Chain A
């Protein structure tokens, strides 16, 4: 998982609560990504950021928000508007010009209480 740290490993959300998942990288990568993975499924893109202070919606952005105030950090907030948040969330980063090879964190498993 080298160089990308996701925390916490497990997270529980109560109904109506916003929760924030942390993603920090020390690889000096420009681009960062958030994916959602449901059991037995592939990865779906939530948000991505190519540079600091800029980010774009992915395929399933509704109910999520992000910020990119620092190059190293790309936190994801799962808002109360996301009605089915239970999933495995993966953060990844990519070096500019690196043929789009992505490096992943170990993931955060989010469950609803």
Chain B
């Protein structure tokens, strides 16, 4: 079964609005990552948050992590049409550090 599950599955917003995506996971983790995938392309790493961190920022991205609830959120502020993509959370589980489990993703559509 999937370790990470994103919510919502799809999100459509107007340019300039904020987009929030959530991720839940099941087992303890070393870190949680967010990746972006443009249609028909590979994934690109956006941001990593360690299990002992609660919040992290990178440009217009803000990630939070709540290990007690086993959940994370990705906030994209002032969205642009170019942000249209699928966003995946990925968890590195505590099994030696080599395995990353990806969720099913949130498809974000930003209307110009």
Contact = CB atoms under 8 A, between A and B. Distances in A.
Given A42-B2, A42-B104, A42-B105, A107 B40 contact: yes
Chain B interface, >50% SS class: strand
Given A42-B88, A48-B98, A100-B100, A106 B48 contact: no
Contact of B31 (A99, A103, A107): A99
Nearest to A59: B101
B43 to A, nearest CB: 5
B43 A101 contact: no
A45 B2 contact: no
A104 interface: yes
B104 A40 contact: yes
Contacts of A99: 31, 48, 92
A42 B41 contact: no
A110 interface: no
A41 B100 contact: no
A27 to B, nearest CB: 13
B98 A50 contact: yes
A101 B99 CA distance: 11
Contact of A106 (B30, B42, B103): B42
A104 B88 contact: no
Interface residues of A, number: 25
Interface string A48-72: 1010000000000000000000000
Nearest to B104: A42
Chain A interface, >50% SS class: strand
Contacts of B45: 101-103
A48 B97 CA distance: 13
A104 B99 contact: no
26 contacts: A1-B41, A1-B42, A4-B42, A6-B42, A35-B102, A40-B105, A41-B104, A42-B2, A42-B88, A42-B102, A43-B102, A45-B101, A50-B98, A92-B42, A92-B43, A99-B48, A100-B31, A100-B92, A100-B97, A100-B100, A101-B33, A102-B45, A102-B100, A106-B41, A107-B40, A109-B40
Interface of B: 2, 4, 30-31, 33, 40-45, 48, 88, 92, 97-105, 107
